[in-house]
Amino acid sequence: MITLNATKRTETGKASRGLLAQGKMPAIVYGPAHEAETITLESADIAKVLREEGESVVVELSGLGANFQALIKEIDRDPVTNQPRHADFYAIKKGAKVTVSVPLAFVGESAAEKAGASVVKVMHELEVEADPAKLPHEIEVDIEKLAAIGDQIHVKDIALPAGVTATEDGEEVVVLAQEVEQEPEETAEAPDMAAIEVEQKGKEEEGETEGA
């Protein structure tokens, strides 16, 4: 498990924004057995964790007394640079399981797609419950099971690692194969013969009038 070194933080509000310029990131940690505490992390350390492990990951926090496990609950990012600028950590009670949304990774090739069908990914992450040490970084979904148009893969069909349980309804559709909708071909409109005849007749009458 990855260990992040944290220090207690006294700066709050606008005063904490200057930490980013110093290569540090403000954060907060809280939990059922942990009173809310403002902390500071090294920006490079948290950026590496997010890059390599993702956001829904359990880490070990040190520097705040006895080490303890915490789930990265939420990351606030700069809307322009997308760089993390604040984090919420949820301190995990020892021995307790956690509920986390884990990204889905779609693998394999679908025979239905090879035949011209469209593979529609209905879900992109799956909420699961597990011991923090057994949480997967991602969950694979084998789309080879989609052999024909109309085939579906449900939550109950996904092979989960030992000790990991899905909290979603087993009948929820994760991915499906459907027929590709064909856009109607544009056809040239047939000329309105009646309108043409009226127009020609009007020109003829106009010519007769001028010649009179």
Number of other residues whose CB lies within 10 A of the CB of residue 123: 18
pLDDT recorded at residue 193: 60
The answer to whether the CB of 106 falls within 8 A of the CB of 87 is: no
**Mapping DSSP to helix (H, G, I), strand (E, B) and coil, where does residue 144 land?**
helix
Rounded Cα distance, 34 and 141, in Å: 36
Sign of CA dihedral 100, 103, 108, 111: positive
Sign of CA dihedral 59, 62, 68, 71: negative
Rounded Cα distance, 120 and 149, in Å: 11
Number of other residues whose CB lies within 10 A of the CB of residue 126: 23
Instruction: Name the amino acid, one letter, at 207.
Output: G
Arithmetic mean of pLDDT, 181-197 = 59
The answer to whether the CB of 28 falls within 8 A of the CB of 88 is: yes
Burial label for 149, CB within 10 Å (0-12, 13-18, 19+), is middle
pLDDT recorded at residue 57: 84
Nearest to 94 by CA among 68, 75, 71: 68
pLDDT tens-digit profile of 11-41? 777 767 788 888 999 999 998 888 999 999 9
140 Ramachandran zone, left/alpha/beta (phi>0; psi -120 to 50)? beta
pLDDT recorded at residue 112: 86
And the tokens for 105? 């990774």
pLDDT tens-digit profile of 138-181? 899 999 999 999 999 999 999 999 999 999 999 999 999 998 77
The answer to whether the CB of 169 falls within 8 A of the CB of 179 is: no
- Domains annotated on the chain, with CATH: 3-95 (2.40.240.10), 99-178 (2.170.120.20)
